[in-house]
Amino acid sequence: MDSLLARISRGQLWPSPGGIHPALNKSQSNSLPIRIPPLPPRLVLPVKQHIGAQGHLLVNVHEQVLKGQALTKPHANWSVPVHAPTSGRIVDITPMPSAHPSALPELSIIIEPDGEDRWCELVPHPNYRELTAERLIDILHFAGISGMGGAGFPTYIKASTKQQIEVLIINGAECEPYISADDVLMQAHSDEIVRGIEVLRHLLQPKITLIAIEDDKPKAIAAMEQACASIDDMQVRAIPTKYPSGGEKQLIQILTSKEVPAGGIPADIGVLVQNIGTMYAVQQAVELGKPLIERVVTVTGDTLAEQRNVWALLGTEVKHLLAQQDFNPEPMQRVIMGGPMMGFTLPTVRIPVVKTTNCILAPSEAEMPFPGEERACIRCSACADACPASLLPQQLQWFAKTKEYKKLEEHKLFDCIECGACAYVCPSEIPLVQYYRVAKAEIREQQIEQIKSDRAKERFEARKERLEREQEERRNRHKRPSRSKEQDAQSKEKVAEALARVKSKQADKGADKDKVAAAIARAKAKKAGEQLEPDNSEVAQERAARKEQARLYKEQKQQADTAEPVAKDDKKAAVAAAIARAKAKKTAQAEETEAPAQDDKKAAVAAAIARAKAKKAAQAEDADAPAQDDKKAAVAAAIARAKAKKAAQAAEADKAQTQTSGNTDTPATEQSEEDKKKAAVAAAIARAKAKKAAQAEATVKPSSESSTEPCEENNTGTDTQSSETQSPEDKKKAAVAAAIARAKAKKEAKAAQSDEAQDDASENSKTPEAEQSPEDKKKAAVAAAIARAKAKKAARDAENKPEQEDPS
């Protein structure tokens, strides 16, 4: 079985789906040679005349240019320059109506020809085979060559493809009615076209080259066969005349039986297609160095006196070309750029000729009637039968009307080549192609917006990530380094030590903190008792705790009050004893002879003063303290016992000190009478003080003890007897001392009374009588009995000690 390439070489052809056979109307223009019209008054050159990006301007307004001079410079992919079609002056660079169905303004360069038609310097390359492929591609690129069959695809892009091309197809079918530009170009310039094909074959190295021409162009077929007869692997193929067999995908299918995949390009299947006019431009650019500045345009229609093909400079306005053919417009005249099937009606005849313009059609109304009013689809399926892309035009039209763009894409809308065959056969005269063009434009806009949105989202996310990364870096920059476990342990130890110091300091503050804590505890207990529901057991425990706390506080306060006077009295007794010893020593030294008498007198005076003080203290206490107050009597008895004990201890200390000093200074065998007198005086003073303390204790005993009144009577008698033997001066001193003693006793009695009242108040506030339990009352009675017993014992000890120490 022969291979596909062998069958292609033998000239086998394959049928293509769909297609129609409209009236050709080519004979009106293809029978005359190509004409060169006079220079137009101005040339309007759009900067962009191809698919891709426009170039950067190289010229300015009022600048003089030469023919063939580059006016723009390519700067991006799919960008080709434009050149000056003739010499002249640039009068303006401004947006002008474009050669498009919308006629939207595009940036254009307006040149005023000077009529000299002076060329710029050209660089021909007749020996192009000696050039590298890159150099050849650059020549095609900077010559501004793009596809001249209708799409305007940059030629240098196709010529520089990296894919292996097996079949190179030169499209000379020219299936559109009325258009005969390629037909007459092949008849007149077949040799130049073949040399241009050779340049492309040199770059692509295809296995076979096919020149496809419809069989309704016999002169063109004969001319091309003659031109390529001596070239191997280049053949002319006459294909059946059917519209749109000149379409790229349809022509590939007819010649090779291959189908271009949806969304793909012919190079994907090893095929490349170029136009006849493009091959002529390639030959002019490489061998002669001429850029693309003109092309063949068919000017036809019944409103023209002469219909023919002309060499039109790029930028020539349609109005100028029509005028050269004696244009006679009708009232409702239409001018179409392109053929009747794929062309579009111009909004104005001031539109310029561009690189893709192949026909200017000015038909009369009889020749091409206006389309009728659109009617409802009758579902005849004629459009589907005529579609060369095997689509469903009716379904696409429904989706386009309802703007269901996703369904349009699913039904392969972009496979439509907009040939117009469906609209041509539609009995309802529905402009199907217009629906498809609008839908395609809207879908492209959506895609562009989506691309912009995606890019903006990417930029936003990238910016967000960058800001977060910078913020994290700033945080890490100011973040302290992580500490080791040892450092953490050391810091914890330091904190614990600090807390311990604070606690110890707080503990040293004294009883104030304890009082505050006790008050807080009572408040918390009280609050808790208010919040919780009544519970007899918990209330009893709280009351017991409060009573115990009050009792402890009272005992602590009594101990503190008792210890302070004792310590104070001990200090005073020691001072008094020292003063007495000093006075006794001084008196003994001054009056040795009168020492015994004066010592007796001083002792008597001291005893009288002591008795007076004791009597005054007893009277003050009897007046202020009622006998029925057992609690106050117990406190007073405790104070009296403490004082008596202190006096006894002081007397013992004085005696011991006297004996020690006597033993140290002089031995017992060598003691003088003077020392004995001093010792007797000190002993007498001590006995007087002890007796005074005993009498004071006896006066503050409870009224229940019967020995109180006799003691007072005896003391009174003793005081009276002593006062009778005293001199006036001694009486005066004794009165002063008694007054002082009474004031001190009264002051101490008041202080004791205020302490007792404060204790009673605190005890009553903490433990009311109504809340005291029988156990607390029993403990209080026991404590009072113990205090009375201790007081009675201390009084007896104080009475016995003076008698034992007295040598007499």
Nearest to 88 by CA among 22, 52, 41: 41
What value, to the nearest 5°, has the Cα angle with vertex 678 and ends 677 and 682? 120
711 annotated ligand binder: no
User: Are 400 and 230 contacting, i.e. CB atoms less than 8 angstroms apart?
Assistant: no
Task: Name the strand (E) or helix (H) holding 211.
Answer: strand 208-214
In Å, how far are 254, 425, 494 from 133, measured between CA atoms?
31, 47, 84
User: Are 242 and 175 contacting, i.e. CB atoms less than 8 angstroms apart?
Assistant: yes
Q: Indicate whether 508 belongs to any domain.
A: no
Q: Indicate whether 303 belongs to any domain.
A: yes
In the DSSP assignment, the letter for residue 171 is E
What average pLDDT does the segment 116-129 reach? 94
Q: Indicate whether 532 belongs to any domain.
A: no
Give the confidence band of 715 by pLDDT, cuts at 50, 70, 90.
very low
Regarding whether 419 and 334 lie in a shared domain, the answer is no
User: Are 588 and 594 contacting, i.e. CB atoms less than 8 angstroms apart?
Assistant: no
Query: Which of these ranges, 99-103, 750-754, 765-769, has the smallest mean pLDDT?
Result: 765-769
The whole domain housing 220 covers 4-361
Roughly how many angstroms between the first and final C-alpha of the chain, as a whole number? Answer: 169
pLDDT at 766: 39
Give the confidence band of 371 by pLDDT, cuts at 50, 70, 90.
confident
Query: Which of these ranges, 212-221, 244-253, 707-716, has the smallest mean pLDDT?
Result: 707-716
Nearest to 317 by CA among 299, 304, 334, 344: 299
Q: How many domains does the chain have?
A: 3
Regarding whether 328 and 418 lie in a shared domain, the answer is no
Residue 774 has pLDDT above 70, yes or no: no
**Of 295-299, 547-551, 590-594, highest mean pLDDT:** 295-299
Give the three-state DSSP class for 348.
Answer: coil
pLDDT at 800: 56
pLDDT at 53: 86
In order, the DSSP letters of 95-115 are EEE-SSTT--EEEEEEEEE-S
Q: Which residues contact 253 (CB under 8 A, 6 or more apart)?
A: 14, 16, 259
d(CA 244, CA 18) in angstroms, rounded, equals: 9
416 annotated ligand binder: yes
pLDDT at 784: 67
Query: Which of these ranges, 228-242, 282-296, 468-482, 521-535, has the smallest mean pLDDT?
Result: 521-535
In the DSSP assignment, the letter for residue 284 is I
Strands 359-361 and 336-337: antiparallel
d(CA 613, CA 432) in angstroms, rounded, equals: 141
Q: What is the side-by-side order of every strand in the sheet holding 359-361?
A: 308-313, 294-300, 359-361, 336-337, 344-345
Q: Which residues contact 460 (CB under 8 A, 6 or more apart)?
A: none
> Please, which contacts does 764-767 make with residues 24 or more away whose CB atoms are closer than 8 Å?
766/546, 766/547, 766/549, 766/550, 766/553, 767/546, 767/547, 767/550, 767/551
d(CA 704, CA 629) in angstroms, rounded, equals: 12
Q: Which CATH number do you get for residue 141?
A: 3.40.50.11540
What average pLDDT does the segment 392-408 reach? 93
Query: Which of these ranges, 42-46, 445-449, 777-781, has the smallest mean pLDDT?
Result: 777-781
Q: Looking at 479-535, list the stretches that DSSP marks H as alpha helix, in order from N- to C-terminal side.
A: 485-507, 511-531
Regarding whether 376 and 328 lie in a shared domain, the answer is no
What average pLDDT does the segment 148-172 reach? 91
d(CA 550, CA 537) in angstroms, rounded, equals: 20
Task: Name the strand (E) or helix (H) holding 239.
Answer: strand 234-239
- Three-state SS across 143-209? CCCECCCCCCCEHHHHHCCCCCCCEEEEECCCCCCCCCHHHHHHHHCHHHHHHHHHHHHHHHCCCEE
Q: Looking at 284-378, list the stretches that DSSP marks H as alpha helix, in order from N- to C-terminal side.
A: 318-324
User: Are 391 and 412 contacting, i.e. CB atoms less than 8 angstroms apart?
Assistant: yes
Q: At what angle do helices 190-204 and 133-142 cross, to 10 degrees?
A: 130
Residue 792 has pLDDT above 90, yes or no: no
Q: Indicate whether 505 belongs to any domain.
A: no
Give the three-state DSSP class for 298.
Answer: strand
Nearest to 128 by CA among 291, 279, 282, 294: 282
Q: Which of 361, 383, 414 is the last residue of a domain?
A: 361
Peptide bond between residue 807 and the one before it cis (omega within 30 degrees of 0): no
Q: Which residues contact 776 (CB under 8 A, 6 or more apart)?
A: 547, 551, 767
User: Are 646 and 796 contacting, i.e. CB atoms less than 8 angstroms apart?
Assistant: no
In order, the DSSP letters of 323-335 are HHTTB---TT---
Query: Which two three-digit tokens encode residue 578?
Result: 């020292």
Which residue matches tokens 């008498």?
Answer: 597
Q: Which of 473, 494, 516 is the last residue of a domain?
A: 473
Q: 792-804 burial, b for 16+ CB within 10 Å, e for fewer?
A: bebbeebbebbee
Interval 719-735: pLDDT, tens: 333 333 445 556 666 66
Query: Which of these ranges, 138-152, 155-169, 532-546, has the smallest mean pLDDT?
Result: 532-546
What average pLDDT does the segment 245-252 reach? 93
Q: Indicate whether 771 belongs to any domain.
A: no
Cβ–Cβ contacts within 10 Å for residue 335, how many?
A: 22
Residue 532 has pLDDT above 80, yes or no: no
pLDDT at 741: 63
Cβ–Cβ contacts within 10 Å for residue 94, how many?
A: 12
Nearest to 611 by CA among 689, 683, 681, 709: 689
Per the model's pLDDT, the better-predicted residue between 779 and 49 turns out to be 49
Query: Which of these ranges, 190-194, 392-396, 552-556, has the smallest mean pLDDT?
Result: 552-556
Q: Indicate whether 61 belongs to any domain.
A: yes
Regarding whether 213 and 338 lie in a shared domain, the answer is yes
HSE-CB of 334 using CA atoms within 13 angstroms = 18
What average pLDDT does the segment 334-357 reach? 93
Residue 185 has pLDDT above 90, yes or no: yes
Nearest to 246 by CA among 89, 88, 39, 421: 421
120 annotated ligand binder: no
Query: Which two three-digit tokens encode residue 45?
Result: 């050159």
Which residue matches tokens 């169905």?
Answer: 101
Dihedral, CA of residue 635, residue 641, residue 647 and residue 650, to nearest 10: -100
Q: Indicate whether 462 belongs to any domain.
A: yes
d(CA 704, CA 144) in angstroms, rounded, equals: 144
Give the confidence band of 355 by pLDDT, cuts at 50, 70, 90.
very high
Residue 702 has pLDDT above 50, yes or no: no
Residue 775 has pLDDT above 70, yes or no: no
Regarding whether 577 and 682 lie in a shared domain, the answer is yes
Residue 803 has pLDDT above 50, yes or no: no
Regarding whether 344 and 405 lie in a shared domain, the answer is no
What average pLDDT does the segment 475-499 reach? 73
Give the three-state DSSP class for 194.
Answer: helix
Q: What is the side-by-side order of every strand in the sheet holding 43-46?
A: 43-46, 105-113, 88-97, 64-65
Query: Which of these ranges, 90-94, 281-285, 567-571, has the smallest mean pLDDT?
Result: 567-571
Query: Which two three-digit tokens encode residue 533?
Result: 């529901």
d(CA 97, CA 88) in angstroms, rounded, equals: 22
Q: What is the side-by-side order of every strand in the sheet holding 271-275?
A: 234-239, 208-214, 167-171, 271-275
Q: 630-650 burial, b for 16+ CB within 10 Å, e for fewer?
A: eebbbbbbbbbbbbbbbbbbb
Give the confidence band of 703 by pLDDT, cuts at 50, 70, 90.
very low
Q: Which residues contact 697 (CB under 8 A, 6 or more apart)?
A: 637, 640, 641, 643, 644, 791, 794, 795, 798
Per the model's pLDDT, the better-predicted residue between 562 and 66 turns out to be 66
Regarding whether 118 and 26 lie in a shared domain, the answer is yes
pLDDT, the chain, mean = 79
Residue 728 is which amino acid?
P
Q: Which of 455, 473, 491 is the last residue of a domain?
A: 473
377 annotated ligand binder: yes
Regarding whether 255 and 400 lie in a shared domain, the answer is no
Regarding whether 82 and 210 lie in a shared domain, the answer is yes
Instruction: Give all strands (DSSP E) within 358-427, no chain letters.
Output: 359-361
Q: Indicate whether 238 belongs to any domain.
A: yes
Which residues on neighbouring strands pair with residue 111, listed in sequence order? Answer: 43, 90
Residue 82 has pLDDT above 70, yes or no: yes
For the purposes of burial, counting CB atoms within 10 Å of the CB of 477, is it exposed (0-12), middle (13-18) or buried (19 or more)? exposed
pLDDT at 762: 42
What value, to the nearest 5°, has the Cα angle with vertex 416 and ends 414 and 417? 115
Regarding whether 174 and 280 lie in a shared domain, the answer is yes
Residue 546 has pLDDT above 70, yes or no: yes
Regarding whether 257 and 178 lie in a shared domain, the answer is yes
Which residue matches tokens 């065959």?
Answer: 421
Query: Which two three-digit tokens encode residue 69?
Result: 């001079």
Regarding whether 62 and 131 lie in a shared domain, the answer is yes
Residue 256 has pLDDT above 90, yes or no: yes
Residue 796 has pLDDT above 80, yes or no: no
